Structure 1
């Protein structure tokens, strides 16, 4: 019976280990009866993966029957204390003193965390020395500080090289700034003044392994997609499309990273306030959503098809779709039938605060250029005739071509991408889009003057 009992206990223990696909055990000194949270990084937010309570012996165990998605995780132990841990190995343990987590932590069964914390402990130790020297102003202390900083920089580079291929090395490399080589000489013998800009454009992502899906569960990729494009918004659309493609193509085919980069890059241009960037957005949707349907679910593909169908007709240079609406006299008016050298399509709402502030400015702009060929075609959201009439009278827009959709058949939100009010399009004589978006009245005037009389 004794042997049977021991065998049973052994089988139970073995069974629990076999079915626990991931198991992280931590033993803390100076921590008791506290709830701990295992969280993972995704962009700039930490999401709770699991929670467990520290027992009377300072031990806490996280485990489940499925693997964790590999990446950078954070263990919150209470009292606003936490430590990062790398999840590459699915089963490992560590010990640490809650009063000095980084310096005291020791891992068993995780080479990745061993590497990561050997680096962190070095940085912390040297950081303490630098902090003490910061308070001193004598030349000896200043030189010592610079020497430590230089040695740390060399240490980082050596670490990344020595342990290349490990997740720990990739994470540390992702936090390192680019090394800018000396500027090359131009044909006139002078250094290229645009060298730093060119290097930024071509090498910004050199320190990021965009073939590794684990990098998605870190804060680094999210921050840097926006950081890359924000200073480049002045570039031509073709250049932005080319750069977007280069970023996506750094990831492997049919990978989580590829999907992530497509989503982030497309999203940047979808929400960009720069006029014309919707062309990059449409390009990305057509190439990477519609041509790579295996990455997306059916509903996403359906929505993208609809969005592309309508947005392509609204891009700069496209002839805007026609629309038939009713004016104040009850007469039908179409946008394309308006005879003007330049037309402003002004889609507004009577209860829109921004419309109330902007409409008087537009009235003044129209008055300045009406006799030179400017026309404002102004559909209102909704079909309340009384509200419509009151708005026209109050804001003195009688000289606009004021129209309303009495039938309710026009979907301005979809057909004219009127996701906010006012939505503004500036059209040339042929009703091609030459300006659009959230434009200041001064910017609108510059575009209008350019196309009047053409």
Structure 2
């Protein structure tokens, strides 16, 4: 499971700004008079309400004496966050139009970035609809294949939907290329970078091609700083990757067990050893665990050792997953999520990830599953 994030905005709202601040004017259908309209700013802890007004006669108007630096804010209609729409705070004169019966058709006119966001959303909605239609048309087929163990059909359907989902990436890349002076391009590039959809050199080129006005915003400067960190991390990862290549001696490491005892790799080598990177929150890891349990039970008395390295951050969740999945081999964790030093040492960027070692601690294979893994362990235990 990689660190993935959604790429598309879901809807757009709009703001107008003037020399005395900014004004939001809205037309709303389907919500009663007196419904609160909140202006929200998002941070690492969620949404913070900046100010509010209310709907009267199907309209609302919000005025501010100050215009904050260009950034992404949200209009919230009501208190449940059911109707939450992003908009860009910037100078200009614009209007927000919303109909409860058709929330996806929210309309914006006026300022440059909000107009661009609206046109972007219209295209993104078409892709979203294509995905939803495909899922609806093929859900029964997928469930039937899953029950029959028809891996070929399941993989074919997953490949088809991945192809549709990749249209989001293509849309974003095209948008960024043709709108280099848009703040929206910076937001989309940030999401692309977080989703691992682009290589680092591509990210750097797209960012360098943005206008100086965009790069000099607060988020632009933060992106530039993160880009430098990414470059440093890539160099470290490449160096570590060479150290854990097949044929190399596995680097030693140590961490705490659930009971607080420190255990190391070299102190726990068997005739064959599997280093298993996983986490309680990782769906693919949990799905694979029964297969690993079966393999361990088959070969543990012949010299197989497994060391589970968890990328959990909550000890209780980690321990519960160990018990629920019946993982009886050695388990260790630093409880540091993706900042786990062992994962970095082994250049692990997606889980589950496995390293297979021989009796001397030499890496002989990586990420084997099923029959291939069974055959490799049997070979090592001869």
Q: TM-score, normalised by structure 2?
A: 0.44
The structure with the largest alpha-carbon Rg is: 1
Q: TM-score, normalised by structure 1?
A: 0.39
Which structure is higher in RCO with an 8 Å CA cutoff and minimum separation 6? 2
